[in-house]
């Protein structure tokens, strides 16, 4: 088993730069108006460095937004932005991922271990990273699923609200991937993830001591062998805060085919279908569906179809999105839907919107008025049942765009609002909405130019990206 140091510190040169700022009582210098500014905050994001599913990737606390992304060698990196002073810090390496270090591995970049970030009630910053199921040789039997690669890890800042030094806590099993962190009003932390590779349960852990320890894993979505097909039932989920003591979950069904099985004998693909929704009351421990009926856990495919189904997508494939509540406490779901075009990943999937009216699920049409062969991703802010704002990233006619799409009729129609970022030839990786986001900082995006392994990362607000001095944003030698 490969061992890495449990303590991480930033390079001496970077540390010296932070020390200069720390020695003064004055706010750090805001770059002068004539200093060369750029609209990205770093240029060393690696692979597919961000996603909607690993979340939150950023959090705003007391005037500072903390950000995480996958950097060199698939390691987690953290930066911060002070909204009052305009000061950027970092990015700083927060840990060492097992992945990204083996030159003999056929698939050089795994991408499943991108970091999730959350700040506890004591001000310590937590990053969960590096996992894609673990390996039997290094980690032994996975009691809730199968293996693949990597090692799920948990890093925490050594001091509150300070990104300069980190340590690993060894508080979670190594098998997890797609980490998602939720903090309740009483400070309890919940960590949700898939407990292994595709054929694994989805689970959660609870911490009542600011993430210093976590309870054992509890399954809430059950994987199991099908007896009618050469396949296994599996899932993809997105978990967020609901109202009061509740956590809300949307998920889609993954039909995990055996080798040489399935449509045209393609074997394992990303085939996924439908949209589901349920609620977890963290105070009572009871799970319910949208009608308030108590659920028996963990959920199986047959039971999900009976009790938690929000939408059927038929032959179309899905890529699950996010869920939020409106002012009446009704859930709205984003899910990405597209055709099966005979490929391992199906076809492009466009972000679509569903909502619960109090009596039924409605919607399902694409949010952005873009071509059917254009892939889109994003998250949304919902104010009322009628007022919904999506931040969507897509590439159309060779132009990469990140833009707001707004509805004032409950999602029956959307119109394009402000375009906040545009680049020729660019594809995008985008996060969910930042936790406790502000109008100046809503999401993180990475610009993916064709043939490039390294990507620029941007902090985007309602009106566009937050700028930074070029000398600070350029982290790679050209």
Q: What is the pLDDT of residue 29?
A: 36
Selecting among 69, 149, 178, 276, the annotated active-site residue is 178
Best CA proximity match to 468, nearest among 85, 144, 51: 85
Reported residue count of the chain is: 478
Best CA proximity match to 177, nearest among 209, 212, 142, 208: 142
Selecting among 66, 69, 77, 112, the annotated active-site residue is 112
For residues 366 and 394, is the Cβ–Cβ distance under 8 A? Answer: no
Ramachandran category for residue 188: left, alpha or beta (phi over 0 → left; psi -120 to 50 → alpha):
beta
Residues 6+ apart with CB under 8 A from 378: 52, 321, 334, 351, 367, 390, 391, 392, 393, 430
How many whole angstroms separate alpha carbon 44 and alpha carbon 258? 37
Q: What is the pLDDT of residue 478?
A: 60
How many whole angstroms separate alpha carbon 152 and alpha carbon 265? 32
DSSP output for 90-116: EEEE----STT--TT-SSS---TT--E
Q: What is the pLDDT of residue 24?
A: 34
How many whole angstroms separate alpha carbon 78 and alpha carbon 125? 10
Burial label, 49 (beta-carbon count in 10 A; 0-12, 13-18, 19+): buried
Establish whether 458 is a catalytic residue.
Answer: no
Which segments of 23-122 does DSSP mark as H helices, in order?
Answer: none
DSSP secondary structure letter of residue 217: P
Establish whether 55 is a catalytic residue.
Answer: no
How many whole angstroms separate alpha carbon 434 and alpha carbon 67? 9
DSSP output for 282-342: TTTTEEE-TT--B--SSB-HHHHHHHTEEE--TT-EEEEEEEEE-TTS-EEEEEEEE---S
Q: What is the pLDDT of residue 23?
A: 34
Mean pLDDT, the chain cut into blocks of 10 residues (478 residues total): 35 34 36 73 97 98 98 98 98 97 87 98 98 97 97 98 97 97 98 98 98 98 97 98 98 97 92 98 98 98 98 96 98 97 94 98 96 96 97 97 98 97 98 98 97 96 97 88
The pTM of the full predicted model, rounded to 2 decimals, is 0.92
């Amino acid at each position: 088993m490969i061992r890495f140091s449990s303590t991480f510190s930033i390079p001496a040169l970077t540390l010296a730069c932070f020390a200069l700022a720390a020695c003064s009582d004055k706010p750090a210098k805001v770059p002068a108006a004539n200093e060369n500014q750029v609209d990205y905050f770093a240029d060393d994001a690696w692979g597919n460095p961000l996603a909607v599913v690993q979340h939150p990737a950023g959090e705003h606390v007391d005037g500072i937004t903390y950000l995480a992304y996958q950097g060199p060698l698939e390691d987690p990196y953290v930066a911060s932005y002070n909204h009052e002073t305009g000061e950027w810090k970092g990015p700083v390496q927060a840990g060492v991922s097992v992945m990204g270090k083996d030159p003999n591995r056929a698939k050089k970049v795994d991408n499943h271990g991108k970091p999730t970030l959350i700040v506890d009630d004591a001000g310590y910053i937590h990053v969960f990273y590096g996992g894609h199921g673990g390996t039997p040789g290094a980690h032994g039997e996975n009691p809730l699923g199968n293996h693949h690669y990597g090692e799920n890890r948990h890093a925490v800042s050594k001091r509150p609200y300070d990104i300069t030094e980190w340590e690993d806590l060894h508080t979670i099993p190594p098998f997890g991937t797609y980490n998602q962190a939720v903090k309740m009003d009483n400070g309890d932390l919940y960590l949700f993830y898939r407990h292994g590779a595709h054929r694994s349960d989805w689970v959660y852990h609870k911490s009542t001591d600011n993430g210093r320890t976590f309870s054992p894993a509890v399954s809430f979505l059950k994987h199991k062998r099908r007896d009618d097909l050469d396949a296994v039932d599996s899932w993809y989920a997105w978990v967020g805060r609901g109202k009061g003591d509740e956590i809300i979950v949307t998920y889609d069904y993954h039909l995990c085919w055996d080798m040489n099985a399935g449509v045209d004998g393609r074997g394992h693909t990303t085939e996924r279908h439908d949209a589901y929704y349920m609620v977890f009351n963290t105070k009572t421990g009871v799970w319910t569906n949208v009608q308030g009926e108590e659920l028996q856990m963990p959920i199986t495919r047959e039971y999900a179809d009976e009790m938690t189904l929000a939408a059927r997508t038929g032959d179309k494939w899905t890529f699950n999105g996010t869920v939020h509540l409106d002012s009446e406490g009704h859930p709205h779901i984003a899910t990405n839907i597209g055709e099966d075009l005979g490929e391992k990943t199906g076809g492009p999937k466009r972000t679509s919107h569903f909502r619960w009216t109090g009596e039924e699920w409605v919607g399902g049409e694409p949010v952005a008025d873009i071509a059917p062969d254009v892939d889109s991703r994003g998250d949304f802010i919902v104010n009322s049942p009628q007022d919904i704002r999506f931040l969507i990233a897509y590439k159309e006619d060779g132009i990469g765009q990140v833009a707001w799409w707004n509805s004032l009729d409950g999602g029956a129609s959307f119109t394009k609002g402000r375009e906040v970022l545009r680049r020729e030839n660019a594809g995008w990786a985008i996060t969910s909405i930042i936790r406790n986001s502000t109008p100046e900082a809503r999401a993180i995006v990475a610009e993916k130019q064709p043939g490039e392994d390294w990507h620029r990362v941007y902090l985007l607000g309602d009106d566009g990206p937050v700028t930074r001095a070029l000398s600070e944003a350029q982290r790679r030698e050209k």
